[in-house]
Chain A
Amino acid sequence: MDALISLISIFVLMLLGYSVGSFVEKVHYASVKKRENQFLDLPAITFRKLPQDKEVIDAQLVMGSVVISLDYFKRFLAGLRHIVGGRIKSYETLLDRARREAILRMKEEARKLGADVILNVRFETAGIKKVKRKQKVGCFEVLAYGTAIKFAK
């Protein structure tokens, strides 16, 4: 009986995770795409030097970070993937979303400073794990940082 209850609870958790998780992902992707279009005039580039000579009046460090986690169902799928190997698509989309969100937050900070371009953008990724009941929490921190440059008008 106990085994049955735990089996049912796992099933319910997976169903909940799958339905809510994929809904949240869809909504998040839509909002990321919309905001990316708004920030088209503020490019974030990985160059260290400015591509063209312009007079610079301000340079300041900006950053954005996100801590994001995987839903229960996808974590279960990823566990299955370990048996056969190969791409784990659910983790790929998770990290993709997190990085784009981090860049957007960095750009929001740069916009507040009135910047025109962000130079030398770097990423930093750290896994945050806790070992509790031998259960690993798939959660990551993604940080994006760069130098916001303001041109003289």
Chain B
Amino acid sequence: MIVTNIEYVPGKQIVAHYGIVQGSTVRARHAGADFAAGLKNIVGGELKGYTKLLEGARKEALERMVKQAEQLGANAVINVRFATSTITQGAAELMAYGTAVRVE
């Protein structure tokens, strides 16, 4: 599976479009990471717990998107975009969407 965020796959021709595919996940912070972040807020700097959490969540959203594309019979997802939205306090939705295509 080829995943890119440009409108084509370099060196390959698009032979079929399957439309939009998307994957999303909703994550809540856990108390431990929250506590560490509270401490870190005094001195500033990177909040590693949050970074890890969001990275994992985004990978999962991508995987779900890829799975949907595979079901359609596509072998590439092009023009991928990310979106983040806060639903309630302490929970965020991470979403990835793109166009499923077949390339040769």
CB-CB under 8 A for A120 and B54, given A69-B37, A71-B44, A139-B37? no
Say whether A55 contacts B11, CB under 8 Å.
yes
Contact among B5, B50, B62 for A146, CB-based, below 8 A: B5
CB-CB under 8 A for A65 and B58, given A56-B10, A143-B82? yes
Contact among A17, A60, A149 for B44, CB-based, below 8 A: A17
Complex interface: chain A residues within 8 A of B9 (CB): 59
Contact with B along A1-34 (1 / 0, CB 8 A): 0000000000001001100110011001000000
B26: CB under 8 A from chain A?
no
Closest residue of chain B to A50, judged by CB?
B10
Say whether B44 contacts A124, CB under 8 Å.
no
Q: Kindly provide the distance from the CB of B87 to the nearest chain A CB, expressed in whole angstroms.
A: 13
Task: State the interface size on chain B (CB cutoff 8 A).
Answer: 35
B72: CB under 8 A from chain A?
no
Task: State the interface size on chain A (CB cutoff 8 A).
Answer: 46
Which of B44, B58, B83 is the most central at the interface, judged by chain A CB atoms within 10 Å of its CB?
A: B44
Say whether A59 contacts B42, CB under 8 Å.
no
In the complex the two chains form, what is the Cα distance from A12 to B3 in whole Å?
50
A57: CB under 8 A from chain B?
yes
Q: Kindly provide the distance from the CB of A72 to the nearest chain B CB, expressed in whole angstroms.
A: 5
Say whether A141 contacts B45, CB under 8 Å.
no
In the complex the two chains form, what is the Cα distance from A60 to B10 in whole Å?
10
Say whether A147 contacts B43, CB under 8 Å.
no
B46: CB under 8 A from chain A?
yes
Additional pairs, 9, CB under 8 Å, beyond known A20-B44, A68-B45? A21-B44, A49-B6, A55-B11, A65-B55, A69-B40, A71-B41, A120-B6, A130-B89, A145-B5
